Chain A
Amino acid sequence: MRFLSRRRRHPAAKPLALVLALFVMGALYSAMAPTTVSTADDSTQQSQLAKGKELFQVNCSSCHGLNGEGTPEAPTLIGVGAASVDFQMETGRMPMARPEAQAPIKKTLYTSEEISAIAAYVASLAPGPKIPSKEQYDTSKLSQEQIARGGELFRTNCSACHNFEGRGGALPNGRYAPSLMKTSDKHIYEAIRTGPQQMPVFAQGSLSDDDVTEIIGYLNTLHDEPNGGFDLGGFGPVGEGLWGWVLGLGSLVLVAVWLAKKGARAR
C-alpha cells in the first residue's frame, strides 16, 4: 500500500485512477449486461418496460401509433414480437429516415439496452416471436449432411428472392430482397421467423429451429468456400457476359491493335 499512497499525488495519478475506474465499470458492465435480461427480477423488468414504452413513444409512435396499433403509414406492431424489434432496430432498418419503398440497412443509433427495452415493450403488447437464444441457431454442431440439407432448404425457400448464394435480388416497384452476405446468424434467424418488410414468415411448423440452423450453417459454409477465381460479384451470367466482353474481348482487341500497328520507324 505504501507503493500506492506514496504516489497518490503523482501528476498521473488522477488520470490513471479515472482510466482504472472506467475499466472496472466497463468490465463489470460486460460481465453483467448479457445476464441482466434473463435474470432480471420483476422490478427491473417493470422498469425496462417503462423505459421501453417511453423510448417507443418518442421514436416509434409517430408512425406505428401510440400503442403500436399501426397507422396508414406503418403496420401494427401488436404481435410482431421482440425478435422483430431486435432485427429491425439492430440492423438499423428502424426507425426509417424517410418514407421509402423499403427500409434500408444502416448503422443503428441505439444501444442494445435501448433496443432490448423497446423489444420488451413491444413483446408485452401481444405474444410474438422471441429473440432467439444462441443455442437456437448454433451451427457449430452441424454435420456435413445437415449442412447439405440446409442447402436444399435454402434453394427451395430462400434463393428465389435472395439468389443462390444470398446476394439478394429484385422485387416489384423498387423493393428488393437484401444481400445476406454480411447478415449475422441471429438476424437471419429473426428474419425467417418474423418476416420483415415484404418477406413472408417461415414459422416453426414449416421450418423448425433445426432447419433454420441448417440454412444458416449452409450459408456460412458457402461463403467460406473458395471460388474458381474472383467471383465477379456472384450475379450469374449477366456479370459473366459483361466481364467476358470487357476483359476477354477487350484485352484481345488491345493485343490485336498492338499486333497490327507498325513498329517504331527509324525516321
Chain B
Amino acid sequence: MSTKNPVPAHQGPLSPEDYDETLPVASSNPDKPVDDPGIEEHIERYTDANTAAGNRAYAQVVGMLALVPLLAIAFVVIYFAVPRDWYIKFGPLHSYAQHLGLGITGGLAVLLIGLACIHWAKQLMNDTEISDERHAMVSSPEDRAAFQKEFDQGAADSALGRRRLIGGALAGAIGMAVVPAVVVLADLGPHPGKGLRKATIEKTLWADGVRLVTDVNKRPIKASEMEIGQLVNGQPENLFDLHGVEFQQAKAKSSIVVVRMEPDRIKIPESRKDWQVGGILCYSKICTHVGCPISLWERTTHHLLCPCHQSTFDLGNSGVVVFGPATRSLPQLPIKVDAEGYLVAQSDFTVPVGPSYFERDSRHDYKDGDN
C-alpha cells in the first residue's frame, strides 16, 4: 500500500518571498494541487429567510435582557432582606442562603446579558463574512529609504559621529546610575553573616534544662506517663514567653515530636545512648527538605512522613531518610529527666534544623551507620 518514493528534487526556483533562497533545500512543492475556490457563497440564515423565526430570536434576545433588571432587583432584595445566618441544605449543598442568593441572581444577570448579546450577533446581525486585505509587515523600500534618510539626518544632527565620547559617557553614566538604585535595596533584610546566622537560623530555644511541653495545652511531659507508641507534638516551655513575630520565628525552628518506642526494637547508636530516656526519643518537627512540620508517625514502622513532599524518616534509626527528596536525617534533640520526672532538653540541637542552605556545615549530621 505505501510505497516510499523519494520526494522529487524541487521543481523550479522558489520565489524570493517564500523560502530563504540562500539555503539549500531538498524538496518543495510550491504549486497547490487544487485551485482556491474562493470564499464560500453566503447562505441566508433561517432567521433571515423566515420572518417568524427572526421575530422569535428577537423576542428571545429582548426576553433575556428583560430578565436582567428583575434579577438585579432580586439581588438587592436578597442583600438587604436575607439574614446571614440562614442556611440552605439540599443534598450535598449546604451553604449560606444569602451567599447563594447573591451569587445566583448576580451570576445569572451577568450571564444573560452575555448570552443575549451573542444570540443577537449570531441570529439578527448581518452575518455575511467579509475579507480584509493583509499586507506584509515589512515596510516598502521607499519607506525604508525615507526612514534611513531621517535617521541619518538625526544621527548627523546629534554630532555623535564626531564627538563619540558623549555616547560612551552617557551609557556609562546611566549604567552607573543604576548601581545606587540597586544598592538602596540592600536593606531589604538583615545581612546573614556568620554572626547573624548563629543567632537566627542556627539557634533554637532549646538549652540545657528547658522543659518539653505539649503544644497548645502547654503540659510538661512526664517520662513515666509516656506509653509505647505514643507521640507528643511538643514545644520548649520558654516558647510561650514570646509573642508575635518572635513567637512564630521561634516556633518555626523549635517544634519537636516526642515518641516512645520499645528500646530493643530500635537502633540507637553508641554516641546517642544517653540522648534518650527509656525509648523516649525527641526529634525536630521541621522537615530537613523544605521545612514543613512533620508528625505523621507510623507507630509500628517508626517512620515519620512529611505530608508536603513525602520525605520519610526512620525515628527508630536516628531519623535517617528512608524515602523521598529529603537529603539529611532529622536532627535529634538530646533529652533527660529532671528531678520531678519531667522531660527536659540537655542542650540545643547539635546541628541546624530545617532545610539546607549554602553556608550550612552538613558534615556533622547523622548518617545511616554512624556510631
Contacts and interface: CB of A to CB of B under 8 A. Distances in A.
A263 B47 contact: yes
Contact of A160 (B222, B225, B307): B307
B99 A228 contact: yes
Contacts, number: 127
B299 A206 contact: no
B229 A264 contact: no
A259 B127 CA distance: 13
B87 A226 contact: yes
A75 B122 contact: no
A261 to B, nearest CB: 8
Given A198-B300, A262-B45, 12 more contacts: A152-B216, A160-B295, A172-B303, A197-B299, A201-B231, A202-B230, A204-B225, A226-B94, A228-B95, A231-B92, A263-B123, A267-B43
B297 A200 contact: yes
Contact of A203 (B47, B215, B227, B310): B227
**Interface class of chain B by DSSP:** mixed
Interface residues of A, number: 42
The 8 A-B pairs at the shortest CB distance, nearest first, are namely: A200-B231, A266-B49, A205-B225, A198-B298, A201-B230, A266-B44, A264-B46, A206-B232
Given A153-B217, A205-B221, A263-B45, A172 B233 contact: no
Interface residues of B, number: 55
B317 interface: no
Contacts of B228: 201
B367 to A, nearest CB: 21
Contact of A171 (B45, B230, B298): B298
B338 to A, nearest CB: 15
Contact of A206 (B43, B88, B214, B303): B214
A157 B103 CA distance: 37
Contacts of B123: 263
B62 to A, nearest CB: 18
B301 interface: yes
Name, among B48, B94, B95, B227, the residue most crowded by chain A CB atoms within 10 Å (CB to CB).
B227
Given A149-B216, A195-B299, A198-B298, A263 B46 contact: yes
A152 B49 CA distance: 69
17 contacts: A152-B216, A156-B233, A172-B301, A197-B299, A198-B300, A203-B225, A203-B226, A205-B226, A227-B94, A228-B96, A229-B99, A229-B100, A259-B118, A262-B45, A263-B45, A263-B47, A267-B43
A200 B307 contact: no
Contacts of A169: 296, 307
Interface of A: 75, 149, 152-153, 156-157, 160-161, 169, 171-172, 175, 177, 195, 197-208, 211, 226-231, 255, 258-259, 262-267
**Interface class of chain A by DSSP:** loop
Contacts of B103: 229
B53 to A, nearest CB: 9
Contacts of A258: 118
Contacts of A208: 217
B301 A198 contact: yes
Contact of B259 (A75, A153, A171, A200): A200
B353 interface: no
B333 interface: no
B6 to A, nearest CB: 42
Interface in B97-131: 99-100, 103, 118, 122-123, 127
